[in-house]
Amino acid sequence: METYTEHIVDNSLDAESYFVAKVSATWSWSDNGVGFYEFWGTPGHHEDWGWEYEGYFIEEVAIFNNEEELVVSLTHSVDNSIAPEHEDIWNAVNEMVCEEMESLDPPDEHPEAEYDEL
């Protein structure tokens, strides 16, 4: 089972501008308790079901100047590319978002009871 959470990430790009990014994180419900000494189906094996972070996708980035005026708004195109003149900005934002995503807390929601029995 997968679920998605939406996040707003903001940070300064330089002394004159900052960004606000809309980001979706992907989580999967999985058993994190299987260690190297265990295998599926072992009697008495340890189960530790929980949300596992799978990755993120930046949906939109808005760049503002210090006067809070919108300078540029970036989104992925249908073919998943960024205009060449905006690649440096996108890559800088992506690095900062990546650092932020590493500290996410898992979703509070719990999947249906049927997943507890897997």
| Contact assessment for residue 74 and residue 82, using Cβ atoms and an 8 Å cutoff | yes
Instruction: Kindly tell me if the per-residue pLDDT of 9 is higher than 60.
Output: yes
Please tell me the pTM assigned to this model: 0.72
Q: Which residues pair with 49 in a beta bridge?
A: 31
Interval 46-66: pLDDT, tens: 567 788 889 999 999 999 999
Interval 78-111: pLDDT, tens: 666 777 888 898 899 999 999 998 888 888 776 6
